[in-house]
Amino acid sequence: DGVVKLRSDREYFVNPGSLDASRKQAPKFAEFALFDSGPMTVEFFRVPYDDMLTEAKAAGAGYRIGPWRDRFYALQRKVPGFR
């Protein structure tokens, strides 16, 4: 967490993070940033979230793929020209 003061004569690319990968151990954090154009600051945050509830909601909404399709996609990434 923290606030960074930006200079108005520069361009910035800010990557605040994301949700922790499911393979990581607890605690899980969502990382994000807020940009304030008045004082030209970016404030970074890390907040805990319920990863099990998030995964259950994603699966219930159809946003998760099965293990066989996951293996197929992994194979596609590893073998050039495989479709």
List, as one string, the DSSP characters of 48-79: E--HHHHHHHHHHTT----HHHHHHHHHHHHS
Pull the structure tokens for residue 43: 């404030």
Mean of the pLDDT values across residues 49-72? 84
Query: Given this model, what pLDDT does residue 66 score?
Result: 81
Checking if the pLDDT of 22 tops 60, the result is no
Query: Given this model, what pLDDT does residue 24 score?
Result: 63
Query: Given this model, what pLDDT does residue 20 score?
Result: 61
Query: Given this model, what pLDDT does residue 1 score?
Result: 58
Q: Are the CB atoms for 3 and 42 separated by under 8 Å?
A: yes
- Cα(first)–Cα(last) distance of the chain, in Å? 43
Mean of the pLDDT values across residues 15-29? 71
CA distance 50 to 13: 29
**pLDDT more than 70, % of the chain:** 87
CA distance 16 to 40: 16
